[in-house]
Amino acid sequence: MRRRHLPGLIAGLALSSGRVSAEGRQAGPASPWRPAHTIRLIVPVAPGGSQDATARILARPLSERLGQPVVVDNLPGAAGNVGFHAAARARPDGHTLLAGSDGLSINKTLFPRLDFDPVEGFVAVSWVVRVPQILVVRAGRGWAAEGMAGFLREVGRRPVTMGTTGIGSLAHLLGEEMQEAIGARWIHVPYRGGAPAVTDVVAGVIDAALVNIGAAAVMVRNGMLQGLLVSSPNRVGALPAVPSIIATGPLAEGAVGWHGIVAPVGTPGDVIAALDAAVQAVLASDSLRSQLLSLGHEPVSERPERLAQVIRADAARWGSVIRRKGIAPA
């Protein structure tokens, strides 16, 4: 991580396998695997959020593609671990899948006493979308007119309150990295999701929020919130006017969440390959991609190997932050 101290940064701104592996995409048999009955797609969060929406957008066209119903089963609780556990313990035959996310990588270190491994207990199937985070403040605040430079000056002047989507969330851990990089601190205010955090920013209850872009995009577009940066290395199509985290300077690398499909470790390679092919075919639909883009997500067409690499790299990166900062679940 490239460290930059607050005064210099402001001045510059005033002027972007039993393992999560890619066992899939191996050469399959002459007749591709087909499911024999209903596929259960476990979603480890409650209905209504962006991760749930992604799964439901995929479920119907996947059902049509695979010739069997794909049924979304919401199993929220314990920061996703209820759903993760159920999926990890399922029979590895392709009929139980998990709507995975960056929470798998984070929970490996955040919850060290789990009786399953959130990383090594799954095999990557398909990376569906990238999910950037966004730093927002209430529009119209005087210091916010200078963008990130004004925000950093304010952080150095007084205790600024920063809402995130909860202790140990990607937003929380990214915020910790940012504070290390700028050499200053803000007051962390954890919420149960992005929507209540951005609502409190608009109401003036907290100064800023770092949340999933989908939670704030509408309010940014209608002028209620001002986006200071997105966490991806480049600007995103959902909010092209908001600069990237690299362009604004706090970090030398981006940090983007993901939603995708994983399966219990031990799922045969031909099954993984058939499921991935079905997901990729569904993602080729312009109408489906438009639905995902409307959530602020960026559809991805990557091999399972690449998702496996991301999961492991994120586990190392966020595990280091958790250990360094002594972060523990509430």
Q: Look at residue 250 in the predicted model and tell me its pLDDT.
A: 75
> Is 158 among the domain residues?
yes
Rounded CA-CA distance 205/194 in Å is: 14
> Is 29 among the domain residues?
no
pLDDT digits (tens, 9 = 90+) for 127-147: 999 999 999 999 988 888 889
Q: Look at residue 13 in the predicted model and tell me its pLDDT.
A: 42
Which domain range does residue 211 map to?
133-248
> Is 229 among the domain residues?
yes
Rounded CA-CA distance 128/139 in Å is: 32
Show the tokens assigned to 57.
Answer: 């957008």
Q: Look at residue 251 in the predicted model and tell me its pLDDT.
A: 79
Q: Are residues 261 and 320 in the same domain?
A: yes
Give the whole-number percent of the chain exceeding pLDDT 70: 91
* Number of structural domains found in the chain: 2
Q: Are residues 214 and 169 in the same domain?
A: yes
- Please state the rounded mean pLDDT for residues 166-192: 94
Q: Are residues 239 and 183 in the same domain?
A: yes
pLDDT at 260 over 60: yes
Show the tokens assigned to 277.
Answer: 């092919």
Show the tokens assigned to 254.
Answer: 């981006």
Question: Strand 298-299 relative to strand 96-101: parallel, antiparallel, unpaired?
Answer: unpaired
pLDDT at 12 over 70: no
Q: Look at residue 1 in the predicted model and tell me its pLDDT.
A: 47
H or E element, residue 25: none
Q: Are residues 184 and 215 in the same domain?
A: yes
CATH number at residue 291: 3.40.190.150
Rounded CA-CA distance 211/136 in Å is: 8
Rounded CA-CA distance 234/103 in Å is: 23
pLDDT digits (tens, 9 = 90+) for 205-242: 999 999 999 899 999 999 999 999 999 988 998 899 99
CATH number at residue 137: 3.40.190.10
Q: Are residues 137 and 243 in the same domain?
A: yes
pLDDT digits (tens, 9 = 90+) for 17-51: 445 545 444 544 457 899 999 999 999 999 988 89
Rounded CA-CA distance 256/51 in Å is: 14
> Is 215 among the domain residues?
yes
- 203 Cβ partners below 8 Å, 6+ apart? none
- Please state the rounded mean pLDDT for residues 260-276: 97
- Please state the rounded mean pLDDT for residues 274-294: 95
- 159 Cβ partners below 8 Å, 6+ apart? 186, 187
Q: Are residues 117 and 44 in the same domain?
A: yes
Domain termination residue (choose one: 222, 248, 274): 248
Q: Are residues 233 and 138 in the same domain?
A: yes
Q: Are residues 121 and 270 in the same domain?
A: yes
> Is 223 among the domain residues?
yes
